[in-house]
Amino acid sequence: MSVTVFEQDDLVELLGDEPELLALADAIALTQAVRPRHRLRRRTVLLAAAAAVMVLLAVGATLAATLDGFTGWLTGTPGTPASPAAQAEFQAANAHSYARFPAGTVLNRLLVRRVGGATYTLYGFHSGDQLCLRLVAQGISGQPVLSCAPQLALEHAIAGVQVAVVDYAFGLPNRPPRPGTLAAPRASASFGFVADGVARVELTSDGGHERAVVAGNAFLAVRLHPAVGSRVRSVEATDEAGTSTPIPFAAALSLFPRRSHGGIPGPHTVQRKLGPGTIGWLVHHEPRGQSLAQAHVPRRILVGFHMAGGVAFARVLRPDPQSSIRVVASLVGKHGRNLCILTLFHGMAGGGCSVRLAPITVGLSLDEGGNQFAVLAGLARDGVASLDLFLADGERWPVRLTDNAFAIEVPRDKFPVSLVAYDGAGRIVGISPNRGF
């Protein structure tokens, strides 16, 4: 193994104008100045520092390559325009959803695969900060499957692939299986986002090894006749130079899911305790967001609808107005004092009710066991000015807060996470850890 030793002037010339790396070069120069008589020790320290610089350069190059590779997704949508029939089918399905994408959302066809007598077409589209993939199968039973990633997921990706869904079942029997038994699907599909420069994506499951189709900055793998309980266990991407990289993802949930282990990331101490509080505009019935009628959300699906007194007031909120995710805040009960929250996304809904209002009231939802993105959504009480999400890999994501509501898709392989609330002065006023599913 060979190691190159850089003198300080060489480092400055090599690093250019990068401030963080120039600071490291300055630190090396300082080491030289403090210990001028200890040549051996100085050279050892210089060697270690130069090695650190080389690591930083390598990481920087990898990140730059990844971001460049995902440019197609971050600045537009890869692929070609979907057929008029496919666009019309999507618009019809969207019109009947409680969590609708904005009118005018346009699909692009990314790739098509024909296997086992069925045709699988993968589409992609943008919606606000969401980058979405939709898989439609013809010639086999099963509803289209949708997965949306926040733009932050691709911006922070350190590998050339972001898995979206694993082990989605097509071709399940029309009749339920006998009690005590499970039915095996005819096919199982996995797909995701791909950066430029990725030549191959390969998956290993309990049933063997399979190479995915890669096109349109996406990948799709279809397994025929998987055994009951069979799961994808690993995903690997290979670039055009032949270098292979393992891709992180979360396995599809089993009957007995395991929560993520490890320490909770982010800060652990509240710096200012908020006294009793509320959401003023909600208590005073201000018309924020949309009414149930405007959002085409029926009152009967709200959490707490059947409580004595029913729903006194409800509004449908969209933290990101271009996203499909909606947060319904309602006051229910005889005196209208119980606050209920319902999250609507991808044709699914989940929520709950509470009398006490914490600084942040958070719910975690997942629409399908193989989806790689869980929805973290809820309400923040008055006094909370901003939110940050701390992820297990050390990332820190800002979370949009609109009319006290928030919603963000979180990669399941990056749990545990912690949602941290701040007041207007930047002091921590609430912490909500979550270990996922």
**Which residue, 202, 223, 247, sits at the end of a domain?**
247
How many domains does the structure of the chain reveal?
A: 3
Q: Do residues 14 and 59 both lie within one domain?
A: yes
Quote the pLDDT of residue 349: 80
| Inter-helix orientation angle 8-15/39-69, to 10° | 10
In a domain, 270, yes or no: no
In a domain, 260, yes or no: no
Q: Which two tokens stand for residue 83?
A: 């057929």
Q: Could you tell me if 3 and 47 are in contact, meaning their C-beta atoms sit under 8 angstroms apart?
A: yes
- Could you list the residue range(s) of the whole structural domain that residue 30 is in? 8-69
Q: Do residues 54 and 169 both lie within one domain?
A: no
The torsion defined by the Cα of 332, 335, 337 and 343, in degrees rounded to 10, comes to: 10
Q: Do residues 234 and 117 both lie within one domain?
A: yes
Q: Which two tokens stand for residue 115?
A: 């296997």
Q: Do residues 17 and 136 both lie within one domain?
A: no
Quote the pLDDT of residue 334: 77
* Sign of the four-CA dihedral 76, 222, 374, 195: negative
Q: Please state the φ and ψ torsions of residue 50, each to the nearest 5 degrees.
A: -65, -40
Q: Please state the φ and ψ torsions of residue 53, each to the nearest 5 degrees.
A: -60, -40
Quote the pLDDT of residue 17: 38
Q: Do residues 22 and 136 both lie within one domain?
A: no
Q: Do residues 291 and 412 both lie within one domain?
A: yes
Quote the pLDDT of residue 256: 57
Q: What is the 3-state secondary structure (H, E, C) of 20-84?
A: HHHHHHHHHHHHHHHCCCCHHHHHHHHHHHHHHHHHHHHHHHHHHHHHHHCHHHHHCCCCEECCH
**Which residue type does 148 have?**
C
State how far the Cα of 365 lies from the Cα of 407, in Å rounded to an integer.
11
Q: Do residues 216 and 119 both lie within one domain?
A: yes
Q: Do residues 338 and 288 both lie within one domain?
A: yes
Q: Could you tell me if 93 and 136 are in contact, meaning their C-beta atoms sit under 8 angstroms apart?
A: no
In a domain, 357, yes or no: yes
162-201 as b/e: b if 16+ CB within 10 A: bbbbbbbbbbbeeeeeeeeeeebbbbbbbbbbbbbebeeb
Per-residue model confidence as pLDDT tens for the chain (437 residues): 322 232 333 323 333 333 333 333 333 232 233 333 333 333 333 333 344 333 333 333 343 344 457 888 988 889 999 999 999 999 999 988 888 898 889 999 999 999 999 999 999 999 988 999 999 999 999 999 999 999 999 998 878 999 999 999 999 887 776 766 678 899 999 999 999 999 999 999 998 999 999 999 999 999 999 998 899 999 999 999 999 999 999 999 875 556 667 899 999 999 999 987 899 999 999 999 999 999 999 998 898 777 767 899 999 999 988 888 999 999 998 777 889 999 998 777 888 887 778 899 999 999 888 999 999 999 999 999 999 999 999 999 999 999 999 999 999 999 999 999 999 999 999 999 999 88
Q: Do residues 304 and 375 both lie within one domain?
A: yes
In a domain, 342, yes or no: yes
Q: Do residues 173 and 313 both lie within one domain?
A: no
Q: Do residues 62 and 84 both lie within one domain?
A: no
Quote the pLDDT of residue 43: 39
In a domain, 274, yes or no: no
Q: Which two tokens stand for residue 176?
A: 């339920």
* Sign of the four-CA dihedral 300, 409, 152, 109: negative
What pTM, to 2 d.p., does this model score?
Answer: 0.81
Q: From edge to edge, which strands make up the β-sheet containing 373-380?
A: 360-365, 373-380, 405-411
Q: From edge to edge, which strands make up the β-sheet containing 244-247?
A: 208-211, 198-205, 232-239, 244-247
**Which residue, 222, 247, 272, sits at the end of a domain?**
247
**Which residue type does 296 have?**
H
The CATH number covering residue 426 comes to: 2.60.40.10
Q: Which of 417, 421, 364, 420 is nearest to 392 (CA)?
A: 417
In a domain, 275, yes or no: no
In a domain, 292, yes or no: yes
**Which residue, 229, 247, 265, sits at the end of a domain?**
247
Q: Do residues 85 and 61 both lie within one domain?
A: no
Quote the pLDDT of residue 9: 32
In a domain, 415, yes or no: yes
